[in-house]
Amino acid sequence: MNELKKELSLLQGIGLLATSLLGTGVFAVPAIVAQIAGQDGLWAWSILLILVFPIAIIFAELGKHYPNAGGVAYFISKAFNPHLGRVTSWSFLSVIPFGLPASLYIATGFFSSLLELSPVAELLIQIITLLLIWVLGLFGAGASGWIQSIIALLIIALVMAICFSSSPSVLTVEWPNITDVKIMPIISALAVMFWCFVGLEAFVHLSTEFKRPEKDFAKALILGLILAGFVYWACTAAVIFLAPNSTIATAALPQIIETLFGKQALWIFCLIGYLACFASINIYCQSFARLVWAQAEIDYPSSPFAKLSRRYTPVNALSLVVLLSLFFLLLIYFFTIPLNSMLEYANGVFVLIYLLAMISAIKLLQAKLRILAIVCTLICIGLLFVIGYKSLYAIGIFILFWLVAKKVIPNK
């Protein structure tokens, strides 16, 4: 039997998605939103959730009706043809050169904020992080689910401690009158905030590992989204309420922690921040591994990457993903590529994948869901325009893979 083990519960699914969405953004983006939009940023999170919800619903419906480790690539294959699905899967993997090294750099930044680490020491922590992710992957999605649920609880506990330790509570922060909200700062903030909800497409790769995908997958996705949205809102409220004059985004929450709990509590903050990043990196590595396994099973069924371990996990595919991440991590270390550039190019790939998923949904889903998928398609096209010329990396890679795949693996 060459099938992934069905071991994820609803609670584990919520933990996996929430930590994936919170990931590297939860301790920096709220402060950026507060800087851009001030108190109007409280409304910005509500607006963003309204925009993201339709996309989340479409992903939930696709994952519920078509559970498969191939994720968006499988949806595209089902809606159109295997060749386009293959190209989509390869394009998703093009996030690895920029996205994973960027996330690893952000993760080690929490330790750098407390300790004077040399670049070599930072690189060593990043390599150890990759090794831990590989070890965790040996035990299957269930192990990741429980660990990331614990990390999600730690993040929520930290945010709640901030909210209720201040007097009065952060949760009582006054919302500006909706008629007084300025539109342009909200739009500028939304352009940054959207990336906090990149992770839905990775979660879809785990749909086939739910014990009851038809019942629990959609619930886990929606509940995880709401949970992450609340945490982001609460962190933004905390910055507005307790550190309104902070000029450095990454320094706002550490400043709040030190003010409320003392300098020794910064160690706890940095540990939870690192774990949040670890959780986000982990779900992407595990998702990439399942994508490699699913595609190899179709195109190269006799290859090592199409095999599962005795625990029914794609260990060989995960090893490939980790080794590729290590290669690009070392490449970026030696050539010193700026973090902002890595994030921007990776984001273009994510939006393109979202766009392809919504296009497949137009064909696969029925009635009102099809209309919703059309609306989501238009949203994604608009986001590609917002990214601008940096989206050409994703589009160029997609075209290149299209041409290569056509020659290497002709349609059967």
Contact 126, 108 (CB under 8 A): yes
pLDDT at 302 over 70: yes
pLDDT at 2 over 60: no
| Average pLDDT for 295-310 | 81
| Average pLDDT for 123-129 | 91
- Give pLDDT, residue 70: 76
Q: Domains of the chain by range and CATH?
A: 10-408 (1.20.1740.10)
| Average pLDDT for 55-81 | 85
Lowest-pLDDT range, 42-51, 52-61, 118-127, 163-172?
A: 163-172
- Give pLDDT, residue 190: 76
In percent, the amount of the chain with pLDDT more than 70 equals 91
Higher pLDDT, 279 or 134: 134
**CA–CA separation, 195 and 191 (whole Å):** 8
Length of the chain: 412
Contact 352, 341 (CB under 8 A): no
- Give pLDDT, residue 371: 93
pLDDT at 374 over 90: yes
Nearest C-alpha neighbor of 398 from the set 356, 339, 337, 342: 356
| Average pLDDT for 265-275 | 85
| Rg, C-alpha atoms of the chain | 21
Categorize the per-residue pLDDT at 411 as very low, low, confident or very high, splitting at 50, 70 and 90.
low
Contact 297, 162 (CB under 8 A): no
Query: How confident is the model over 306-350, as pLDDT tens digits?
Result: 887 777 788 898 899 999 989 988 988 887 766 666 766 777 888
Lowest-pLDDT range, 1-15, 63-77, 354-368?
A: 1-15
| Average pLDDT for 284-312 | 81
Q: Which residues pair with 210 in a beta bridge?
A: 8
Query: How confident is the model over 239-269, as pLDDT tens digits?
Result: 888 877 666 656 677 788 888 888 888 888 8
Lowest-pLDDT range, 122-136, 222-236, 336-350?
A: 336-350
- Give pLDDT, residue 144: 64
Q: Please give the mean pLDDT across all residues of the chain.
A: 81
Categorize the per-residue pLDDT at 142 as very low, low, confident or very high, splitting at 50, 70 and 90.
low
Higher pLDDT, 190 or 124: 124
| Average pLDDT for 85-109 | 82
- Give pLDDT, residue 55: 87
Categorize the per-residue pLDDT at 364 as very low, low, confident or very high, splitting at 50, 70 and 90.
very high
Higher pLDDT, 344 or 79: 79
- Give pLDDT, residue 375: 92
- Give pLDDT, residue 115: 76
For the ranges 2-6, 179-183, 359-363, the one whose mean pLDDT is highest: 359-363
Higher pLDDT, 86 or 373: 373
Backbone angles phi, psi at 70, to 5 degrees: -75, -15
pLDDT at 128 over 90: yes
| Average pLDDT for 204-223 | 80
- Give pLDDT, residue 1: 46
Contact 54, 372 (CB under 8 A): yes
Give the distance, in angstroms, between the CA of residue 189 and the centroid of all CA atoms in the same chain. 18
**CA–CA separation, 259 and 44 (whole Å):** 27
